[in-house]
Structure 1
Amino acid sequence: MSKEVTQATEKTPSEAPETTSGARIYRPLADIMETDDGVTLMLEMPGVAAEDVDVTLEKRVLSIRGKVQPTAPETLQLAYAEYGEGDFERSFTLSDDFDPDKIDASVVNGVLTLMLPRASEAQPKKIAVKSA
């Protein structure tokens, strides 16, 4: 895992967040890709629309929450279920290398993509070498 982005401490079941709806809370799977310009996070959040995603950054902790809207039609009765429906939560601790004002987030086909650009002072600098 990248040195700049680390997972926040895992929560034990007794410390897991409670919801007013009683819905389950899942930890979305994430891919982390690092480039010279920054880091890209991709999190699987099936069933979550862009307007139901909440991304906050407070004291270097990036918190991601996604709320799933119920999908079962009211006119049908569930006979058997393998897919567990619930909300999503995950947190990452960021280094000071990122520019919080330029973080970009989008949701496409159930995947939340976060672009975390490095701050200009943290970007690698090319040093010109002159011949004498």
Structure 2
Amino acid sequence: MTDTESKALQAKEKAELKSASEDTKPGPTFAPSVDIFETEEALTLLADLPGVNAKDLNIDLKEGVLTLSSDAVTQEGSEEVDVFREYQTGKYYRKFNLSDVIDQSKIEAELKEGVLRLHLPKIEAAAPRKIEVKAG
């Protein structure tokens, strides 16, 4: 992003999403924390999804909107009783509006150790290039 395109970003605590819609599944829904990096060729989005397996992660792309959703699996023993718990698990949900410079047909995703890495390549026309000048 250029300085004129960038917006001030602030870190935020993990917070439950508040929605006007009704959810039929019990439990809280969280917006995963993300980091977004840009190069001349692509954007890389990293999303924290602790407790999520690749088979339980849904990534949908429709009309330029990329949606992440999943249920986290809790790792609890059958004999264990909570004494103290700071870490919450639940559903994850987040939407991103993609700009026209993203080549939506070439998006790739990898989930490793609770971190989703989305590679969002830019279309060829949007990538900067050097124009060769020929002597005539």
- The percent identity for this pair of structures is 35
Distance 1:18 1:25 in 2: 12
The alignment's TM-score, normalised by the length of structure 1, stands at 0.82
Matched, 1:63 2:63: no
| Other structure's SS at 2:96 match | strand
- The higher relative CO (CA closer than 8 Å, separation ≥ 6) is in 1
Matched, 1:78 2:64: no
- Could you list the per-position Cα deviations for residues 9-42 of structure 1 after superposition, in whole angstroms to 9, with x for gaps in the alignment? xxx7242x54433111111111110011110000
Distance 1:57 1:79 in 2: 41
**AA matched with 2:133:** V
* Number of the residue aligned with 2:119: 115
* Number of the residue aligned with 1:13: 18
- Could you list the per-position Cα deviations for residues 60-97 of structure 1 after superposition, in whole angstroms to 9, with x for gaps in the alignment? 11111121112111222222211111111111111111
Distance 1:79 1:64 in 2: 32
Structure 2: 5+ residue runs without aligned partners?
7-16
Q: CA RMSD in A?
A: 2.1
**AA matched with 1:114:** L
**AA matched with 1:39:** L
Within the candidate set 125, 128, 131, 1:127 is matched to 131
Distance 1:21 1:97 in 2: 36
**AA matched with 2:101:** D
Task: Report 1:37-48 matches (<5 A).
Answer: 37-48=41-52
Distance 1:62 1:14 in 2: 18
Distance 1:14 1:35 in 2: 34
Give the count of matched residue pairs: 124
Distance 2:47 2:93 in 1: 10
The alignment's TM-score, normalised by the length of structure 2, stands at 0.80
Distance 2:100 2:18 in 1: 30
Task: Report 1:73-112 matches (<5 A).
Answer: 73-112=77-116
**AA matched with 2:84:** Y
